[in-house]
Amino acid sequence: MRDEDVRRFRADTPGCEEVIHLNNAGSSLPPASVTETVIEHLRAEAALGGYEAAAAAEDRLDAVYQSFARLLGAAKDDIALTDNATRSWQAVFYALRLGPGDKILTCRSEYASNAIAYLQSGATVEVVDDDESGQLDVDDLERRIDDRVKLISLNHVPTQGGLVNPAEEVGVIAERAGIPYLLDACQSAGQLDLDVTRLRCDALSGTGRKYLRGPRGTGFLYVRPRLRARLEPAMLDLHSAAWTAPDAYEVAESARRFEVWERNVAAILGLGAAVDYALAIGLPAIEERVTRLAARLREMLGDITGVSLHDQGKRQCGIVTFGVAGLPAAELKKLLAQSKINTSVSRAASAQFDFTARKLPELLRASVHYYNTEEELRCFVEEVDRFRP
């Protein structure tokens, strides 16, 4: 990615003039085109009416599915649009109707919302060991497979670190065993080049607000046809199913069976604009720059006395987590915010398996994107150095 490209992306991002934004794993700064798309449709609703504005935008709404199909290497009918990543993930998980006697295999870096759902289901939850690098151990995963395993479910990138789990290798194992494979791509979509054929996942969920740079309150879901055909969502409405007779209904054939009728049309159009913006740049180029910036940030933080880095894995991405001796992460976040630097804090409540196993304290999370610059990273590191005890 050329310097002039980065300057153009920053010019497209008004927030770059206000803050150093290193909270992209929380919610990225949107390009102006995304914000304007949302506002334009809200104005259309005010002028025409909500139903009428949606009808006028029908072709543009359909194009959002096409854009996601391009992003993920899928077919348009494999895509559902939702209001957040958790709802996307839950739509598949609860349709599997797991319970006592069933077994779920997951990773140690798993996210809280997913783990809570596992526990609620009543199924047995087995946490696969990590290998020596800290990523999911695919050999241990394969050893744990038996007739009781009804789901392999993991995050591609955890909320609490720069680890990238070996999702493609897991896909090979899951496909060979004939076990449904649910991949949480909440933190990887938009920063990594994803292809569901290569990943071999049966379902993949994600959000708009993080690395895709879309509006909050948007999510997406990919469901492979062979899994979709055997799942009836736990909840249906007149959009996800048709009421064909007083005593009968038919579930939609496409992934829209996992949607509901009422939704934020303006936000969905904004999400489509965000995906199109990323596709125009190219996900390989985004991945290369994000990965390189994060690696550089780890190098710079590693040179500061008292800073301990906590990212694991053979492959790492744009999320950087660390601690500063004698300075709680929450306090450091507040100090950085006073300098107009946005970060976030990773806590045990978001990842109990991992925090408990590694005995981790609260961590500061700095997550870079392609519109960040090395100058911003230097400023950030200087501030961390200034604030340390």
Q: What is the pLDDT of residue 37?
A: 98
pLDDT at residue 286 in the model: 98
Q: How far is CA 254 from CA 207, 275, 314, in A?
A: 20, 21, 37
- The single-letter code of the amino acid at 222 is Y
Taking residue 226's Cβ as centre, other Cβ atoms within 10 Å add up to 9
Q: Where are the domains of the chain?
A: 3-29+283-387, 33-280
Instruction: Supply the pLDDT for residue 222.
Output: 98
Could you tell me the pLDDT band of residue 258, with boundaries at 50, 70 and 90? very high
Where does the pLDDT of residue 358 fall: very low under 50, low under 70, confident under 90, or very high at 90 and above? very high
Output the CATH code of domain 33-280. Answer: 3.40.640.10
Q: What is the pLDDT of residues 141-180, one digit of tens each?
A: 999 999 999 999 999 999 999 999 999 999 999 999 999 9
Residue 288 is predicted with a pLDDT of 98
pTM: 0.97
At how many degrees (to 10) do helices 329-338 and 374-387 cross?
120
Question: How does DSSP assign 345-384, residue by residue?
Answer: EE-GGG-HHHHHHHT---EEEEE--TT--HHHHHHHHHHH
Q: Which CATH number fits domain 3-29+283-387: 3.40.470.10, 3.90.1150.10, 3.10.20.740, 3.30.710.10?
A: 3.90.1150.10
* Cβ–Cβ < 8 Å for 164, 311: no
Query: In the prediction, which pLDDT does 193 show?
Result: 98
What does the mean pLDDT of the chain come to?
Answer: 98
Is it true that 3-29+283-387 and 33-280 share their CATH fold?
no
